[in-house]
Amino acid sequence: MTEIDISNFENEIVIRKIQEEDIDEIVQIAQLGFENADIAFERKHYESHINIFPEGQVCVLYNGKIIGSSSSLIVNYDEYGDEHSIDDISGNGYITNHNPNGKNLYGIDVVVHPDFRHLKIGRRLYEERRKLCKKYNLESIIFGGRIPNYHKYADKLTAEEYVEQVKSQNIYDPVLIFQLMNGFEIRGVKANYLLEDEASLKYATLLEWKNVDYIPEDRENIQPSRPIRVSMVQYGLKNINNFESFASRCEYFINLASKRRSNFAVFPEALTLQLLSFIDERVPSRQIRSLMDYTDEYLKLFSNLAVRYSINIIAGSHFVKENGFMYNVSFLFHRNGKIDRQYKLHITPDERKWWGIKPGSKLEVFETDCGKIAILLGYDILFPELARKAIDNGADILMTPYTVEDQQGYTRIRNCAQARAIENQVYTVITGMTGHLPQVHRMNAQYSCSAIFSPSDINFANNGVSVEADSNVEMTVHGDMNLELIRRNREVGTVTPVKDRRLNVY
């Protein structure tokens, strides 16, 4: 068998600036996305947008097809105040009032094709606005949000009362709920905002997201923080009857991570060993080879989940056969649809003896939308030279999915991961499996205590442990990492081991 072709399982999500040739397609999507087509912008508006402020006009492509877009401009909001209409603040839809020296990013349009709303495209577009807001050091994002279900309650509630009921979750409004879940706060309710919006009875909520990294001009010019959230899935082994049950359990944990707005979900090494609970095979080498029958399903599952839940997934590892040899491979499923892989480089004696696993030959450093990461799979974290090479190649985070049978094995993983964090001034993430499969031959019980380790210095946790799971309990633990703190620590930390290496000696 030749090297597995992962291109058949990759999806592609691309977020880029709108180009002139995109406009007709975006106009069609806008007319589909609004129940009243009169609300949608026309071609002449989009042409003006991309000519005046191209960076503020963004579209999302899924496998080459445009499925969503957003439009925005920069203003000094104080010049308009809360008593404005969409026409007032958007130059009648042409953004001719765009002010490059303004302090606020104002959103005037977000539209998603109805057939693709399950892919969290709206969240991606809002995230692009946040990036733009930070890039230009703007104070906040503001926009007028529709309340399309208000017409159903207008005979009983004022618009302000309706909004309060939605906030209290007594009434469901799909647009307002989505905006609140994406971190926007209500400034007020505005009448006569969008005259064509009959469903909202011309009302809109004025919403704002404040940029906590905003630096007023008279403040010291320092780089803003770059928080990264990781969800570690401490996966519990238990008997299942088919691959669909495995898929359902994995999706459950990914959904939890997505709800926490994590950037990464990390599963344990050898995750697909659970499939052996419904495969009747007792010979260890054949057990591992039987898992190859599910490679396509595994790749398709996590590729789709990464895109659907808009989260980067390190799906533990899976065993594959290439050119006649068996490898333990960790797959990284990017939320833009791309797939990367890291072959395990150091093989334990049991992996060689019972499963015939061969080592990979190359350490990869992966470029993600949250910085560069390296995956040191299980045993690999015990080798300091490997971690040092990853850091030298630009890795900001070391991810270590692992599988061990007892506390002694866990202690090796934990202590070495924490040592790598200290000596390389980097975050390390570890997560493993719990539970057991008693009917599977030579499948021992698992032990895990997932954690994130940081450098040991003043700006980090006193014990160098950012977050830690309960021992040997199935759970998901979430933690934040600040890459700007890492950068500063390497420059001006109490100790600076990365900078102080004696490269002329060793």
Instruction: Give burial (CB, 10 Å; 0-12/13-18/19+) of 181.
Output: exposed
Cα-atom radius of gyration of the chain, to the nearest Å? 25
Q: Write out the two tokens for 69.
A: 């877009």
What's the gap between Cα 491 and its chain centre? 28
Per residue in 254-266, pLDDT (tens digit) is 999 999 999 999 9
Consecutive H or E run containing 289: helix 284-290
Q: What is the pLDDT of residue 418?
A: 98
Q: What is the pLDDT of residue 220?
A: 43
Q: What is the pLDDT of residue 219?
A: 43
Q: What is the pLDDT of residue 35?
A: 76
Walk me through the domains of the chain, giving residue ranges and CATH numbers: 6-210 (3.40.630.30), 227-492 (3.60.110.10)
Calpha distance 465→360 (Å, rounded): 30
Percent of the chain past pLDDT 70, that is, above it, reads 97
In contact, 67 and 125? CB cutoff 8 Å: no
Q: Write out the two tokens for 310.
A: 């808009």
Q: What is the pLDDT of residue 459?
A: 86
Stated length of the chain: 506
Q: What is the pLDDT of residue 226?
A: 64
Q: What is the pLDDT of residue 36?
A: 80
Q: What is the pLDDT of residue 1?
A: 47
Q: What is the mean pLDDT of each run of 10 residues along the chain (506 residues)?
A: 78 95 95 85 96 97 96 94 91 93 95 92 95 95 95 95 94 93 92 91 95 73 69 96 96 96 97 91 81 94 96 97 93 96 96 92 95 97 97 96 96 98 97 91 86 94 95 96 90 90 87
What's the gap between Cα 417 and its chain centre? 23
The DSSP string of 302-350 is: HHHHHHHTT-EEE---EEEEETTEEEEEEEEE-TTS-EEEEE--S--HH
